[in-house]
C-alpha cells in the first residue's frame, strides 16, 4: 500500500504545482477580462476599479491564490466573470461530454492496437509487418487537424454522418434513438483520436511483444508444442505488459489533450470549446478549472496504470 500511497502524494503535489503555474501564467498574460470596459467612455475608471475589487482581482497573487483554494475546498472552483456563476456549474456537463469522448477513444485505441501489435510482432520483418509499419508512419506524419477536416468534408459530401455537435435536432425521445444518434456523432471525433494515437500504441505493443518472444521461457513453451495463438496471448503478452501498462496512463492524458482540439473543430460540447472561449475572453478561473480537470484526468489515468501494474507485477508488490 505504500506504493499506491506514494503515487497519491505525487499526484497531490502535481495538482498544487499545476495550479500555481496557472496563476503565474495568468499574471504574466497581458490584458484582463474587464479591460474592454476601459474602451467604453460611459464606464468610469472608478466603476471598473469597484468591479475588480468585487471579484478580488486587485489583490496580490498570494491572496488571490488562497481565495481560489478556499473556493476549491467549498466545491466552487472559482468564479466565472463571463457567466456570473461558479466554475463548477460550467464544468459539470462539459466534463462529462469530454469523458465520454476520451473514454470511448481510449477503449477503441487499445482494443485495436493490442491484437494488431501482437500480430505484427509474430510476423516481424514480413510484408504484412512492413506494410502496417509504413501505414503507422504515414498516420504519425498527418496532423489531427487534417484528419478531422478530411472526415468532416467526407461527411458533408456523403451525408452519411452528422457534422458537428453531440445530438441532432429531433433525434427523438426514446432512449434507443438517443443512443444511436450519440454513437453517430461520436464517429468522427473518435475516429480522429484513435487514428492519431494508434501508431504509437501499435509500435509499442509490437516492440514489447518482440522482446518478450526472445525470452527463454517462450522458446521452451514453443518447444513443448504450444499453439501460436496461446503462445502469443497467454505467455508473450503478459510478459510484455509492464511497459504497456505504464504507457496506458500517458495515452489517456494524450487523448484528452488531443481531444480538446478535436472538440473545437467538430463542435463537440466538451471542455475544448469552453477552454477556447474562456481563453479568448480571459476568464481566468474557468481556464484554471479546465486545466485542473485535465490534470486530474491525467493523474487518474496514471494511478489506474500504477494499480494495474501493482496487480500484474509481483516485483512491484515485493518492493
pLDDT at residue number 171: 60
- In this prediction the pTM is 0.82
Sorted by sequence, the CB contacts under 8 Å of residue 145 that are 6+ apart come out as 261, 265
Q: Which domains does the chain possess?
A: 2-87 (no CATH), 93-318 (1.10.3720.10)
For residue 1, what pLDDT is reported? Answer: 64
Instruction: Measure the CA–CA gap between 188 and 115, rounded to whole angstroms.
Output: 23
Cell 473545437 locates to 264
What digits encode the pLDDT tens for the residues 164-192?
777 776 665 667 777 888 888 888 889 98
Tell me if residue 168 falls in helix, strand or coil.
coil
Whole-number pLDDT of residue 313: 65
pLDDT of 226: 79
User: What is the model's pLDDT at position 317?
Assistant: 61
pLDDT tens profile 52-67: 777 777 778 888 888 8
How crowded is residue 64: how many other Cβ atoms within 10 Å of its Cβ?
Answer: 20
Answer left, alpha or beta for residue 166, where phi above 0 means left and psi between -120 and 50 means alpha. alpha
Q: Cα–Cα distance between 316 and 3 in angstroms, integer?
A: 8
H/E segment holding residue 133: helix 127-141
Q: If you average pLDDT over every residue of the chain, what do you get? A: 81
Amino acid 314: pLDDT: 66
The beta-strand segments (E) located in the chain are 79-80, 85-86
For the chain, the distance separating the N- and C-terminal CA atoms, rounded to the nearest angstrom, is 10
At 29, the pLDDT band (50, 70, 90 cuts) reads confident
pLDDT at 319: 60
For the chain, percent of residues with pLDDT exceeding 90: 1
- pLDDT beyond 80 at 278: yes
Question: Out of 33-37, 72-76, 207-211, 229-233, which region has the weakest mean confidence (pLDDT)?
Answer: 33-37
The half-sphere exposure of 224 on its side-chain side, counting CA atoms within 13 A, is 9
In this prediction, residue 183 carries a pLDDT of: 87
Amino acid at each position: 500500500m505504500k506504493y499506491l500511497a506514494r503515487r497519491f502524494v505525487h499526484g497531490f503535489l502535481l495538482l498544487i504545482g499545476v495550479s500555481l503555474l496557472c496563476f503565474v501564467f495568468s499574471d504574466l498574460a497581458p490584458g484582463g477580462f474587464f479591460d474592454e470596459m476601459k474602451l467604453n467612455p460611459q464606464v468610469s475608471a472608478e466603476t471598473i476599479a469597484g468591479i475588480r475589487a468585487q471579484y478580488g482581482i486587485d489583490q496580490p497573487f498570494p491572496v488571490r491564490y488562497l481565495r481560489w483554494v478556499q473556493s476549491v475546498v467549498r466545491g466552487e472552483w472559482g468564479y466565472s466573470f463571463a457567466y456570473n456563476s461558479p466554475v463548477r456549474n460550467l464544468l459539470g456537463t462539459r466534463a462529462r461530454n469530454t469523458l465520454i469522448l476520451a473514454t470511448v477513444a481510449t477503449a477503441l485505441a487499445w482494443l485495436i492496437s493490442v491484437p494488431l501489435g501482437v500480430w505484427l510482432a509474430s510476423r516481424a520483418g514480413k510484408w504484412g509487418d512492413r506494410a502496417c509499419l509504413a501505414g503507422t508512419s504515414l498516420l504519425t506524419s498527418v496532423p489531427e487537424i487534417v484528419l478531422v477536416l478530411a472526415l468532416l468534408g467526407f461527411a458533408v459530401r456523403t451525408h452519411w454522418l452528422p457534422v458537428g455537435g453531440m445530438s441532432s435536432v429531433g433525434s427523438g425521445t426514446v432512449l434507443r434513438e438517443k443512443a444511436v444518434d450519440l454513437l453517430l456523432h461520436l464517429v468522427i471525433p473518435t475516429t480522429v483520436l484513435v487514428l492519431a494515437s494508434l501508431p504509437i500504441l501499435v509500435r509499442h505493443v509490437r516492440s514489447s511483444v518482440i522482446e518478450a518472444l526472445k525470452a527463454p521461457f517462450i522458446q521452451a513453451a514453443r518447444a513443448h508444442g504450444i499453439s501460436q495463438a496461446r503462445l502469443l496471448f497467454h505467455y508473450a503478452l503478459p510478459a510484455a505488459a509492464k511497459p504497456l501498462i505504464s504507457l496506458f496512463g500517458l495515452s489517456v492524458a494524450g487523448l484528452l489533450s488531443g481531444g480538446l482540439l478535436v472538440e473545437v473543430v467538430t463542435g463537440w460540447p466538451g471542455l475544448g470549446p469552453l477552454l477556447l472561449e474562456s481563453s479568448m475572453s480571459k476568464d481566468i478561473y474557468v481556464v484554471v478549472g479546465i486545466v485542473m480537470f485535465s490534470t486530474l484526468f491525467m493523474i487518474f489515468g496514471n494511478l489506474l496504470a500504477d494499480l494495474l501494474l501493482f496487480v500484474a507485477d509481483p516485483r512491484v508488490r515485493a518492493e
